[in-house]
Amino acid sequence: MDSQDPVVVTEPRPGVLLVTLNRPHVRNAVDQSLAKAMDTALTRLESDPTLAVGILAGAGGHFCSGMDLKAFPTDGVPVVADRGLAGLTRARLRKPLIAAVEGAAVAGGFELALACDLITAADTAFFALPEVARGLIAAEGGAVRLPGRLPYHVAMEMLLTAAPLPAPDAARYGLVNRLTPEGEALQAALALADRVQAHSREAVLVTKRIVQDTRGLDDRAAYTVQDPLSAPVFTTTAATEGATAFTEKRPPAWQG
């Protein structure tokens, strides 16, 4: 990679923003420059009304190897304000984000994938949280999210022994939405993005917010959070059109 190449490449497509980490010579390890550039890209996704879904991928056959350990002793963890590693792990994005994983998604790279809403992965990819082997903690979502996404004992083995998890096993446990042949994870992510953006934008955004805001709550508490968010959606033009289209056996107007 030329030193002048951007460390994050953004490619807008109809309704979709493809964000590609672009430091392939270090398996897209995150340093401060990449963190800042990725945060800028995610801010664009959130603020652009023409964009419905984001896709996060890595250049050069790998997703992300985590934070750049060569830069860590002097620069520390490459976080952005209150949005966490690379502006993502604590960001609570409104819009759905899909991780397209090829090769390594390890350490902070795996935590970036865990912060996404959907994951596609090549069958040759693998996930790992090796922080304990480096005297560190999986503190950007690994230790928080993983035990709720995998069987407890599998998650703890990954966290405490640094054991890798091959993508086929991750798919078997439900951690990966689509398992693909090598080199096809991005195509699967684009197909998922098209399915998401085919639906009412407000329904998608509110559904994601409800999931974010009610995780960990019991049913009674969850309904008190959900109802004020969901009730207005039932009165929208999109809801009326969706119901009418269903009864008339046709696609809703927003699908063209």
Q: Which of 131, 140, 157, 202 is the catalytic position?
A: 131
Alpha carbon 6 to its chain centroid, in Å, reads: 21
Contact 51, 85 (CB under 8 A): no
- Is residue 202 part of the annotated active site? The answer reads no
Strand pairing partners for 97?
54
DSSP class of residue 85 equals: B
Residue 84 token pair: 């966490």
Whole-number Cα distances in Å, 147 to 99, 109, 121 = 19, 17, 20
Contact 98, 192 (CB under 8 A): yes
What is the number of helices (H) and of strands (E) in the chain?
A: 10, 9
- Is residue 248 part of the annotated active site? The answer reads no
Alpha carbon 144 to its chain centroid, in Å, reads: 15
Contact 53, 15 (CB under 8 A): yes
Q: Which of 46, 102, 111, 182 is the catalytic position?
A: 111
Residue 238 token pair: 């999109």
Whole-number Cα distances in Å, 237 to 4, 50, 210 = 48, 19, 20
DSSP class of residue 88 equals: T
Q: Which residues belong to the active site? A: 111, 131
